[in-house]
A and B are shown apart, each in its own frame.
Chain A
């Protein structure tokens, strides 16, 4: 059991709401007085992942487990999966269509950014089934 366990549904059909879960996590971490640097890293990493679920996977679920020494973020979707994770991790690689780019995303920077801001990141994915991204951010880096 973690000190604080949070669960969210991330709707895939409402771009306006993408980031709501990450915003709520940020708010809660601030309220409990978590390390500001860790809050920032959690916020950016989770927001990138949440946006990915919305634009690439039709939404999903987010689970966040907060402990004094670390925050675990789980992003679970049942979208198309990622065929080549190594390629997807490269800066600049994106399959986002033009309409996503006109919304300000799709530069292929999200996954590398998530890797940069988290301390541990694991991707489990199966084409046609979905993806689960697990990230851990330590309170002290």
Chain B
């Protein structure tokens, strides 16, 4: 992964990611199916972090490789994973409205 990630977004609902994400480049999610990769692709996001220690299956990994999207796995729950990234400088970039 050579892209620099500045903003992130956490959600288990791809509907919400598609509706509310602006230009965040990292997606944190507890959802594990190929649509997380498709959603990231459509939103031009470069990296997906699976929370709660979830691991991607082969279908997801293959698709992600094809779309040049990095998939990582974190043992932390959503709140903690987001908090860790936030306290290390990542921001939400979401509109408050």
- A residues contacting B by CB (< 8 A) are 15-16, 18-19, 22-23, 26, 40, 43-44, 47-48, 51, 101, 103-110, 112-113
Contacts and interface: CB of A to CB of B under 8 A. Distances in A.
B19 interface: yes
Contact of B42 (A16, A47, A106, A108): A47
Contacts, number: 68
Contact of B13 (A16, A18, A104): A104
Interface of A is mostly: helix
B38 A18 contact: yes
B43 A104 contact: no
Interface string B6-40: 00000011111011000000000101011110110
Contacts of A51: 35
- Most A Cβ at <10 Å: residue of B12, B34, B38, B59: B38
B12 to A, nearest CB: 6
A109 B18 contact: yes
B19 A15 contact: no
